[in-house]
C-alpha cells in the first residue's frame, strides 16, 4: 500500500509540475516599459545612437531599472519596441521579451523565466525522485540478473533496460537540478551566470543576491507549506527586483554618481536612481539599509571594480 501511494503521489506531482512548466506563458514587461507613440516615432526618425539614447533615458527616468548594457546604454528591444526591465531578455524562439529569463528549454518547448521558474525547479525535483524511486525498486531484480538468479525470461531484459534508463536520467537530472539550486542560492539566472548584469558601478554577478534565505523566498514565496506544490508563489512582479546595490537613499546614489569620475562618454549618462519601495517587494519590509564598505578583499576575489555592500545593524 505504501509503495503504491508513494508511486502515484510522485508521479502525480511530476506530471503536474511538468504541465505547469509547459503551459505557463512566459511573463512579458508591462505597458509602462513601452515607449509612448510620440517617443517611438521620434526614436525611429533619429539616426544617431546618441540621440536615440537620449530619448530612451528620458523615457526610463521614472522606471525602476538599475542595469544597462556593457556600454552603459539603456537596454532597449527593437523587436518588441520596449525598454527592458532588469533581468529581462528577448527570446528568439518565442519572439517576446521574457521577464527574468533563465533559458529557452527545448524539453518543455517553453521559456523558463519569472512566471514558471518555480514550476521548472519542482519538475526537476520530482522527476529526480521519480527516477530514484524506479531505480530503487528495480535494483533487487537487477542484482538477481547479474547473479543469474532471475528466471530466464524476456522480462529480464526489460528490467535491465528500465534500471539503466532510470539511473542515467537520475544522474543527468541530478547535475541539472544541483546547478539550478546553486543559481537560486545566488539569485542568478543562467544568462546572468555567463554575462553578469551591469550596474552603475560595473558588472556584478551577485548584484541581485540578498542572502540565501531571501533568495530562496524570492522564488518560492513566504509560506513554506506551498513550496513543494506547483502553484505560483514567487515574490514580486518580475519587473522590479530588490538588489543590494541600490537599496539605499536616492541622494546617496546621486552624490556618489556625481563624484564618480567618468571613464567614457557613456559612463557620465544619467542613470535611473528610483529605489524599490517596500510595497513593491516584501523582501524589503524587514531589511536594514545597505551602505558601501569598500572591502578590497572581495574586489580581488571577484576580479571586478565593484565595492562590496554590507548591512548596517538596525
**Which residues are known catalytic residues?**
105
Helix crossing, 37-45 with 49-60: angle to 10°?
Answer: 160
**What is the helix (H) or strand (E) element at residue 198, kind and residue range?**
strand 198-199
Among all chains, which residue has been given the C-alpha cell 518547448? 109
Distance CA 140, CA 136 (A): 8
Helix crossing, 117-146 with 2-23: angle to 10°?
Answer: 140
Backbone phi and psi for residue 36, each to the nearest 5 degrees, phi listed first: -70, 165
Distance CA 228, CA 220 (A): 9
C-alpha distance from residue 125 to each of 237, 245, 309 (Å) = 25, 32, 33
Count the neighbouring beta carbons within 10 Å of the beta carbon of residue 249: 12
Among all chains, which residue has been given the C-alpha cell 544522474? 171
Q: How far is CA 165 from the centre of its chain?
A: 30
Half-sphere exposure of 308 (CA within 13 A, CB side): 14
Give the cell for residue 43. 526614436
Backbone phi and psi for residue 296, each to the nearest 5 degrees, phi listed first: -80, -20
Amino acid at each position: 500500500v505504501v509503495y503504491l501511494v508513494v508511486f502515484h503521489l510522485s508521479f502525480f506531482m511530476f506530471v503536474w509540475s511538468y504541465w505547469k512548466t509547459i503551459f505557463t506563458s512566459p511573463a512579458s514587461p508591462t505597458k509602462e516599459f513601452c515607449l509612448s507613440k510620440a517617443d517611438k516615432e521620434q526614436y525611429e526618425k533619429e539616426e544617431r545612437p546618441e540621440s536615440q539614447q537620449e530619448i530612451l533615458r528620458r523615457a526610463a527616468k521614472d522606471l525602476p531599472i538599475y542595469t544597462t548594457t556593457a556600454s552603459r546604454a539603456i537596454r532597449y528591444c527593437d523587436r518588441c519596441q520596449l525598454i527592458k526591465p532588469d533581468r529581462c531578455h528577448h527570446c528568439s524562439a518565442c519572439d517576446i521579451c521574457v521577464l527574468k529569463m533563465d533559458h529557452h528549454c527545448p524539453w518543455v518547448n517553453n521559456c523558463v523565466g519569472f512566471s514558471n521558474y518555480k514550476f521548472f525547479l519542482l519538475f526537476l525535483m520530482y522527476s529526480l525522485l521519480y527516477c530514484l524511486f524506479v531505480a530503487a525498486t528495480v535494483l533487487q531484480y537487477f542484482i538477481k540478473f547479474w547473479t543469474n538468479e532471475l528466471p530466464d525470461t524476456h522480462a529480464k531484459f526489460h528490467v535491465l533496460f528500465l534500471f539503466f534508463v532510470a539511473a542515467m536520467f537520475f544522474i543527468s537530472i541530478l547535475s541539472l537540478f544541483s546547478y539550478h539550486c546553486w543559481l537560486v542560492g545566488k539569485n542568478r539566472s543562467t544568462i546572468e551566470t555567463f554575462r553578469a548584469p551591469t550596474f552603475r558601478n560595473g558588472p556584478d554577478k551577485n548584484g541581485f543576491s540578498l542572502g540565501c534565505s531571501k533568495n530562496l523566498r524570492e522564488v518560492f514565496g513566504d509560506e513554506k507549506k506551498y513550496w513543494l506544490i506547483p502553484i505560483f508563489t514567487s515574490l514580486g512582479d518580475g519587473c522590479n527586483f530588490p538588489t543590494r546595490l541600490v537599496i539605499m537613499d536616492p541622494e546617496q546614489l546621486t552624490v556618489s554618481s556625481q563624484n564618480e569620475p567618468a571613464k567614457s562618454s557613456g559612463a557620465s549618462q544619467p542613470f535611473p536612481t528610483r529605489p524599490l519601495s517596500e510595497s513593491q517587494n516584501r523582501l524589503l519590509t524587514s531589511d536594514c539599509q545597505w551602505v558601501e564598505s569598500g572591502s578590497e578583499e572581495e574586489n580581488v576575489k571577484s576580479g571586478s571594480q565593484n565595492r562590496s555592500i554590507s548591512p548596517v545593524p538596525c
